[in-house]
Amino acid sequence: MSRIGKKPVDLPSGVTASVSGQTVEVKGPKGTRTFTATDDVTLAVEENAVTVTPRGKSKRAKQQWGMSRTQVQNLVTGVTDGFKKELEINGVGYRAAMQGNILKLNLGYSHDVDFEVPAGVTVTAPKPTIVIVEGSDQQQVGQVAAEIREWRKPEPYKGKGIKYVDEYIFRKEGKR
């Protein structure tokens, strides 16, 4: 039995959910999000909670049970609090700045990197060495943060590059 799947997803005040077939639509202060579950689970809205139950006892139904419940929980979290990734830029002369909808990154290349921010995600640069990616879709926030980090991954000798704030960079000793 899934320990995660059997818990109902509570809906805080100001958030509404509706189920039509296998699709859940959650509306909240930060927008509207939808998730379509597989046919292995049943979705229902009861009072102020969304419940997910498996159809049958197959291995796939049990797998989809916990995963679907977590996806619905992420919808609720996205429309209430949103998701956030913080990136830190290390290196002499490395910096970031927002110009309209474009993030300008100076990462030691012969040219500046212009990263166009997709719709549904907010990118801010409160300091030249900090970039914050926020949005209501966890997958999209993580993808945008990963694409920004990809321009200059942190290297193990001096730690120069773009890293997540909570990321640990394994440092190596240089030549002797």
User: pLDDT, tens digit, for every residue of 84-130?
Assistant: 999 999 999 999 999 999 999 999 999 999 999 999 999 999 999 99
The last residue of one of the domains, among 51, 80, 109, is: 80
Q: What percent of the chain shows pLDDT beyond 90?
A: 85
Q: Do both 96 and 134 map to the same domain?
A: yes
Q: What is the largest CA-CA distance in the chain?
A: 67
- Of 80, 112, 132, which residue is a domain's last? 80
Please report the pLDDT score of residue 47 as a whole number. Answer: 86
The answer to the question of residue 59 being in a domain is: yes
Summarize the confidence of residues 62-75 as an average pLDDT.
Answer: 92
CATH code of residue 52: 3.90.930.12
2 within a domain of the structure (yes/no): no
Q: Quick one: 70 and 15 in the same domain?
A: yes
More confident residue, 114 or 3: 114
List 122's β-bridge partners, or say none. 134
Strands (E), the chain: 9-10, 16-20, 23-28, 31-36, 41-46, 49-54, 83-90, 95-99, 102-106, 113-116, 121-127, 130-135, 161-164
Among residues 80, 106, 140, the one where a domain terminates is 80
Q: Do 90 and 160 belong to one domain?
A: yes
Same domain, 136 and 102: yes
Asked if 30 and 68 sit in the same domain, the reply is yes
Do 114 and 155 have their domain in common? yes
Asked if 103 and 157 sit in the same domain, the reply is yes
Q: pLDDT value at position 1? A: 65
Q: b/e for 134-162, b at 16 or more Cβ within 10 A?
A: bbbbbebbeebbeebbeebebeeeeebbb
In a domain, 176, yes or no: no
- What is the number of structural domains in the chain? 2
Same domain, yes or no: 75 and 102: no
Tens-digit pLDDT profile for residues 33-60 = 999 999 999 999 988 999 999 998 999 9
In a domain, 35, yes or no: yes
Residue 5 pLDDT class (50, 70, 90 cuts): confident
Is the pLDDT reported for residue 3 higher than 90?
Answer: no
Residue numbers of the domain that contains 48? 9-80
pLDDT at 149 over 70: yes
**Between 142 and 5, where is the model more confident?**
142
